[in-house]
Structure 1
């Protein structure tokens, strides 16, 4: 089957300017752009995802079955936590997905711009919704998203304790359910573009390679900072080579990503340093446990550490995570960044560990100029990391919790003792 055979057979042609009025751009990715549009026939507003065919054809790493996968999954899903796909059509240059318009922006913009509104009770509300949707995908549909991050979690506007969170961008999504657990109509849709083939043992990967009922052939996909440790380590050693994984394990890759998202909501930064797989893996190996900003409740810390455990066997499934103490009432109130009462000794130690990590980062920078810039951005003013997520400014430890720590000069080095 040719690259575009699925599109030619299943996706109708539409002259977009005849049917829609373009209003404004909403976002842009590697292959696609998203616009707010108004349908002329009924004046309703939608988000129109425009995927350039030429970009896909020129990219040797892109498999058109991936696009077929996204189209079929997007059309198939029916859940309030998933952005609804109303129509799919094409013209000579683009493929279009007509999507539900979600007017509150993505979760990353909320983390950056509405930090004061992001109370722990609001984070509990958002986290519960995310896990309910993940439960639907994993347990009801047998689908792993594989690219969960704040940019792919859209929110309705208004009070963050009432907001509706919706998953979007199913370009990397993968079925991991057994063949007998998928509805016959969906199996037929997936077989048409060669995404599945019937075997006695269960699902098959693209190309018809059989998979057993207990394992799934999984290619590393996603955004590096949200990838689980086992995926990063496989990627470092083997690149994009597929790996066999159990069905619970593929679910727990999504769970890890949600743990990173929750940490970002609680602390305003990523849990580990680095941008490349090697850098992030090194940071993971150095840290014995995640540290949090002062004011984060113990239940929230336990929840987040469980979801981001380095051992996938220790991570809960979505249905198990929903039963954790932190997600059940009564919920704590107030900002996760400023505790209304006194901080505990544990808070002080964790803040100290974070501060020492930042000082160590400064010490390792190559030039005095880089040190000064980094110190100004990350210590004095909070600054922002490489992805634009603001880092919460460091606050002094309260009197009585100060610990004896060797002071460092502005270059991140311990001061020398005076000589006689």
Structure 2
């Protein structure tokens, strides 16, 4: 189903189960009453002030008209956006973003419970690279918050499911089809996956496509270790866990620990993604050709 461009149309919904809570609002599993299709619905609280409401709605409608162009098996589809006829229990009006429903769990949950095989690691990493390449080169946008919790499994069948990049409500569309300096301004991201250029510049930073590549490297680390990327102080071997400590460490030249028992192609792939100078990182298209994605034996148990 393609994105419904007329946001004045109201899709009748039945919210059934809370499946996520984020900064923007709560996400529910729901059913479309007109088609019986199971969908995911993000419920965003609006302001009481009418002018603030309209400003926020205009922002979402403009942004979602662009996101509605997404058409890739490794990206969550956005179907529609609309006002909710009913108010939240707080009395605030609500806005609905209707998306494809993924039956599987977030990648960050799954990697804690499964044994990551060479075939699975290669297949899932390739899917992520394909999805990021599509965002960067076909839609000319940067995600800015790629992490395991924002990547969903299309089903719980590990052998056949697709990984789908989600939470694209704050993507930034670029001014050019080719990578430029100062492509994006704005602070976004989760600290364990933040690129150095985001951390160093904070709210005045200049970020482009290569910031997603750093985050991809962190996600691959998460997949092979089954945990968030680990940051270790080289001088005393102490693991850094606090947000400010990790951000300072990365800003000063540090990066996540790459497990030392990984075969060469895997370690090299991660290392290329985690180069501190964004200009030195490969593009998503270049990563498609990396030996990691075609090697037979690419991982041992971490």
Q: TM-score, normalised by structure 1?
A: 0.60
Q: Equivalent residue of 2:42, what SS?
A: strand
> d(CA) in 2 for partners of 1:173 and 1:55?
26
> d(CA) in 2 for partners of 1:234 and 1:84?
32
Contact persistence 2:255–2:274 (CA under 8 A) = no
Shift in CA distance, 36/281, structure 1 to aligned 2, threshold 3 Å: closer
- Give unmatched runs, 5+ long, in structure 1: 1-8, 182-201, 203-212, 338-420
**Once the two structures are superposed, what CA deviation does each residue of 1:308-341 show, in whole Å capped at 9, x if it has no partner?**
11121221110011111111142446x532xxxx
**Once the two structures are superposed, what CA deviation does each residue of 1:162-200 show, in whole Å capped at 9, x if it has no partner?**
32011111122011143xx6xxxxxxxxxxxxxxxxxxx
**Once the two structures are superposed, what CA deviation does each residue of 1:355-403 show, in whole Å capped at 9, x if it has no partner?**
xxxxxxxxxxxxxxxxxxxxxxxxxxxxxxxxxxxxxxxxxxxxxxxxx
**Once the two structures are superposed, what CA deviation does each residue of 1:37-95 show, in whole Å capped at 9, x if it has no partner?**
122223221111111113999x9xx9666534542233121111111112221135111
- Identify which of 217, 228, 236 aligns with 1:259: 217
Per-residue deviation, 1:160: 3.0
Query: In the alignment, does 2:219 pair up with 1:271?
Result: no
- Relative CO higher for 1 or 2, CA cutoff 8 Å, sep ≥ 6? 2
Query: What aligned pairs does 1:3-402 form with structure 2 within 5 A after superposition?
Result: 11-12=7-8, 14=10, 19-54=12-47, 66-91=59-84, 93-112=93-112, 114-116=113-115, 118-178=116-176, 215-235=182-202, 240-241=203-204, 243=205, 245=206, 250-269=208-227, 270-272=229-231, 273-276=240-243, 278-284=244-250, 291-293=257-259, 295-332=261-298, 336-337=301-302
- Give unmatched runs, 5+ long, in structure 2: 86-92, 232-239
Q: Equivalent residue of 1:262, what SS?
A: helix
Per-residue deviation, 1:217: 4.6
Q: TM-score, normalised by structure 2?
A: 0.81
> d(CA) in 1 for partners of 2:255 and 2:194?
17
Contact persistence 1:141–1:177 (CA under 8 A) = no
Shift in CA distance, 286/160, structure 1 to aligned 2, threshold 3 Å: farther
Per-residue deviation, 1:299: 1.3
Q: Equivalent residue of 1:323, what SS?
A: coil
More helix by share: 1
Moved more, 255-264 or 167-176: 167-176
Partner in structure 2 of residue 416 of structure 1:
none
Give the count of matched residue pairs.
280
> d(CA) in 1 for partners of 2:297 and 2:19?
34
> d(CA) in 1 for partners of 2:32 and 2:194?
38
Partner in structure 1 of residue 90 of structure 2:
none
Partner in structure 1 of residue 88 of structure 2:
none
